[in-house]
């Protein structure tokens, strides 16, 4: 998914006006921002003609483009110089809350206990296991610190261990384009196999023979995962068998192994439709069977247990239901309800055990966990008492067990790992993530409100602040939302966020339309020809926060990333007066141009999100809100725009073009900064401490706008 995107149209402006309007009043030297050259390009379609003055910034390998981005980075450094000491202070403060030598709770799989751990000072995790017992000697499968040493960017993707526990397949990315290379390691000898497989989606699964691996490759231009291959350990990858190729470029492909280990699965997925194919894991050279052919507007996923397939499906059930069918008959005519559709509860995730069915459900926007006994058909929600919280189904590789691993978190409770005995209904606390530095959760207050929107809907919003926060309109507040792809944003803990809350900030999470917090219709009401509801919802939440005196317009800040960056671009065009400052991370702001170009990564898979501009109705609608196309001669808030040169989701040139257009058009002296991480992509810097530098940079920007440089 793009989860952050692009487009373009602009106005001509003289270089003199560009220079004058882009100056930042906050700098005593009145530094002049870089000037992007105007090279007008006419973009034509059957539905209209636009002019893009900065289309040339699309040329990633053009030295002039790199030079311009570096100049923007230098301008950023100059403007942020007064708060550089504060940025370092914030970073060190955030780092001091981390228990540097730490480990995850081990989970059991095929006789081994697997976990990750960090060493003091280490950026990357070590992937480890112990045989038979958590007290057994440790075996380090992968040492991320050694593997990532000296690399500007490094990430370990997925990994899988063969059924005989002897061979590891894992993936790495050293560019941040999410094109992963597969590697194979003998876990008994520690030796790497000579073969490497490049341009994969990052995950691979073993068949039952301990020598065959199925994996997915990506198109290197569109970055769509569209082919599944079969590889035999010790052979030349160039001779791997292609077992499936997806011809429809609106679908992506993934491979998996069922938790029962009985089947290898191929999942074909678009925004509104899916298809599942399966193969017995002990017959790796066999033919995959189609479970149910894809149908328009039908999403389903399949898991097996005992003698049945369980299907999570939206067939005649917008909020999804769970059905079952015998392994020998997969047609709809044999499907029977296990958990019927409910209008007020949205089923988000399913995990099937031998004797239990576990669901993550959303009720009034909160994510809860329900356990159902498959024999008695009795279900129970695992109870928690906080006003707003989030539960997740954890890592549960074992199929025949009564124990469910799960996690719990909230704005005031660090990530907490539990084991829940589904037979005895006993909840056992295994670990609450340590937060050093004197953190006391009762020092903070969480509120949950439903904000009335302009069209009568009620928007869930969760707010957190320290107890001494006063609702008198004088406190600063950071407002965050996403609102796309049906991705729901939940109240989760952030140790870094304490640096804001402890200095008087409140933080508000808005569950605007476009997510699925209130069910499938909440998503439907925030996509395609209803996308503007997302923007209006965010603005209505801002107005509520000001009206109820949580903050004021001169102390309200907004933040969003990727598709949430699109949200930021839209709201600053619509209501720039509401915000003191805005942080837009990897923002998808050139929507019309991107969605008109099928060669750009991920475009075709997102027609169901934004619409296909080849259709005039969608062309006109996207044009009416696309941030880059709607920059105009008006005052804008102070803005920090962040991107990565190697971003695979939202290409770097979208935010770069947007900033250039804003500089040439807006009529204020407010700060406008662009920072490009020349080594990173969509997810920002790799490594746990490098990522904290990114957060410290953002917080320092907020405090600078408040005139606080030494707090």
- Catalytic residue positions? 562, 647, 682
Task: Return d(Cα 413, Cα 387) in angstroms, integer.
Answer: 12
Task: Return d(Cα 148, Cα 357) in angstroms, integer.
Answer: 40
**Cβ–Cβ under 8 Å, residues 391 and 368:** yes
Joined together, the tokens standing for residue 82 give: 């007064």
Torsional sign, CA 76, 77, 83, 84: positive
Strand 241-245 versus strand 167-173 pairing type: unpaired
**Residue partners of 689: CB distance under 8 A and separation at least 6:** 95, 123
**Cβ–Cβ under 8 Å, residues 451 and 464:** no
Distances, alpha carbon 355 to alpha carbons 228, 374, 401, 465, 489, in Å: 32, 5, 8, 43, 31
Burial classification of residue 329, based on how many CB atoms lie within 10 Å of its CB (0-12 exposed, 13-18 middle, 19 or more buried) = exposed
**Cβ–Cβ under 8 Å, residues 219 and 193:** no
Burial classification of residue 378, based on how many CB atoms lie within 10 Å of its CB (0-12 exposed, 13-18 middle, 19 or more buried) = exposed
> How far does the chain reach from its first CA to its final CA, in angstroms?
39
Joined together, the tokens standing for residue 340 give: 């019927």
Task: Return d(Cα 526, Cα 618) in angstroms, integer.
Answer: 14
Angle formed by the axes of helices 653-665 and 63-80, nearest 10°: 60
**Cβ–Cβ under 8 Å, residues 313 and 300:** yes
**Cβ–Cβ under 8 Å, residues 610 and 571:** no
Task: Return d(Cα 297, Cα 650) in angstroms, integer.
Answer: 26
Q: Which of 555, 515, 711 is nearest to 638 (CA)?
A: 555
DSSP 284: T
Q: What is the phi/psi pair of residue 62, to 5°?
A: -80, 120
Q: Which of 534, 535, 523, 476 is nearest to 501 (CA)?
A: 476
Torsional sign, CA 507, 91, 553, 584: negative
Q: Which of 662, 686, 695, 659 is nearest to 71 (CA)?
A: 659
Question: Cα torsion at 36, 2, 561, 443 (round to 10°)?
Answer: -160
Can you give 83-94 as a three-state secondary structure string?
A: HHHHHHHHHHHH
| Residue indicated by tokens 């966020």 | 497
**Residue partners of 295: CB distance under 8 A and separation at least 6:** 273
Q: State the CB neighbour count (10 A cutoff) for residue 315.
A: 17
Q: What is the phi/psi pair of residue 212, to 5°?
A: -105, 135
| Count of CA atoms in the C-beta half-sphere (13 A) of 126 | 19
Q: Which of 76, 84, 92, 100 is nearest to 499 (CA)?
A: 92
Distances, alpha carbon 162 to alpha carbons 11, 27, 211, 261, 409, in Å: 58, 59, 8, 11, 33
Task: Return d(Cα 632, Cα 571) in angstroms, integer.
Answer: 13
**Residue partners of 318: CB distance under 8 A and separation at least 6:** 341, 519, 520, 521
Q: How many residues does the chain have?
A: 711
Task: Return d(Cα 638, Cα 671) in angstroms, integer.
Answer: 5
């Amino acid at each position: 998914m793009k989860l952050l995107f692009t487009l373009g149209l602009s106005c001509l402006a003289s270089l003199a006006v560009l220079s004058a309007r882009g100056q930042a009043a906050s700098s005593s030297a009145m530094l002049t921002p870089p000037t992007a050259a105007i090279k007008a390009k006419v973009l034509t379609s059957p539905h209209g003609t636009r002019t893009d003055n900065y289309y040339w910034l699309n040329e990633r390998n053009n030295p002039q483009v790199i030079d311009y981005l570096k100049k923007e980075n230098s301008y950023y450094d100059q403007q942020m110089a007064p708060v550089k000491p504060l940025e370092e202070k914030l970073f060190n403060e955030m780092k001091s809350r981390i228990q540097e030598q730490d480990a995850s709770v081990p989970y059991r799989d095929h006789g081994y206990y697997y976990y990750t751990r960090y060493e003091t000072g280490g950026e990357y995790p070590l992937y480890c296991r112990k045989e038979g017992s958590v007290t057994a000697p440790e075996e380090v499968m992968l040492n991320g610190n050694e593997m990532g040493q000296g690399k500007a960017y490094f990430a370990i993707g997925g990994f899988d261990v063969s059924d005989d526990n002897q061979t590891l397949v894992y993936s790495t990315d050293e560019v941040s384009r999410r094109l992963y290379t597969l590697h194979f390691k003998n876990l008994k000898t520690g030796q790497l196999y000579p073969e490497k497989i490049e341009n994969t989606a990052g995950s691979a699964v073993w068949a039952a023979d301990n020598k065959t691996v199925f994996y997915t490759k990506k198109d290197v231009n569109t970055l769509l995962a569209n082919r599944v291959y079969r590889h035999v350990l010790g052979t030349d990858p160039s001779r791997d068998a292609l077992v499936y190729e997806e011809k429809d470029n609106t679908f992506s492909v993934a491979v998996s192994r069922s938790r029962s280990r009985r089947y290898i699965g191929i999942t074909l997925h678009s925004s509104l439709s899916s298809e599942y194919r399966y193969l017995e894991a002990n017959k790796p050279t066999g033919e995959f069977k189609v479970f149910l052919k894809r149908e328009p507007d039908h999403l389903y996923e399949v898991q097996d247990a005992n003698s049945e397939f369980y299907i999570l499906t939206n067939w005649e059930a917008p909020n999804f239901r769970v059905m079952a069918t015998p392994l020998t008959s997969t047609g709809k005519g044999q499907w029977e309800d296990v958990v019927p559709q409910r209008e007020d509860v949205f089923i988000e995730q399913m995990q099937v055990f031998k004797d239990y069915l576990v669901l993550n459900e959303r009720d009034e926007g909160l994510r809860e966990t329900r356990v159902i006994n498959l024999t008695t058909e009795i279900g129970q929600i695992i109870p928690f008492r906080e006003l707003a919280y989030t539960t997740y189904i954890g890592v549960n590789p074992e199929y025949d067990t009564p124990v469910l691993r799960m996690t719990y978190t909230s704005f005031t409770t660090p990530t907490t790992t539990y084991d829940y005995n589904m037979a005895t209904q006993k909840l056992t606390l295994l670990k609450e993530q340590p937060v050093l530095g004197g953190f006391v959760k009762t020092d903070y207050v969480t509120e949950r409100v439903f904000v009335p929107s302009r069209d009568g809907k009620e928007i869930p919003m969760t707010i957190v602040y320290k107890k001494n926060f006063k609702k008198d309109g004088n406190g600063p507040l950071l407002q965050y939302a996403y609102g796309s792809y049906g991705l729901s944003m939940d109240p989760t803990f952030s140790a870094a966020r304490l640096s804001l809350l402890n200095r008087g900030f409140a933080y508000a999470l808005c569950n605007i339309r476009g997510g699925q917090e209130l069910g499938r219709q909440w998503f439907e009401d925030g996509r395609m020809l209803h996308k503007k509801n997302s923007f209006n919802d965010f603005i209505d939440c801002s107005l509520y926060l000001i009206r109820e005196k949580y903050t004021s317009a001169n102390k309200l800040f907004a933040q969003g990333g990727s598709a949430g960056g699109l949200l930021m671009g839209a709201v600053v065009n619509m209501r720039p007066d509401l915000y003191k400052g805005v942080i837009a991370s990897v923002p998808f702001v050139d929507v019309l141009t991107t969605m008109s170009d099928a060669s750009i990564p991920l475009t075709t898979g997102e027609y169901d999100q934004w619409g296909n501009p080849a259709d005039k109705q969608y062309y006109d609608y996207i044009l009416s809100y696309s941030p880059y196309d709607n920059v105009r001669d008006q005052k804008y808030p102070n803005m920090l725009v962040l991107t990565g040169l190697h971003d695979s989701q939202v290409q770097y040139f979208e935010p770069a073009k947007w900033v250039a257009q804003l500089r040439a058009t807006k009529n204020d002296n407010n700060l406008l900064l662009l920072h490009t991480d020349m080594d990173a992509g969509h997810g920002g810097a790799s490594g746990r401490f490098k990522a904290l530098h990114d957060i410290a940079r953002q917080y320092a920007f907020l405090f600078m706008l408040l005139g606080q440089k030494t707090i």
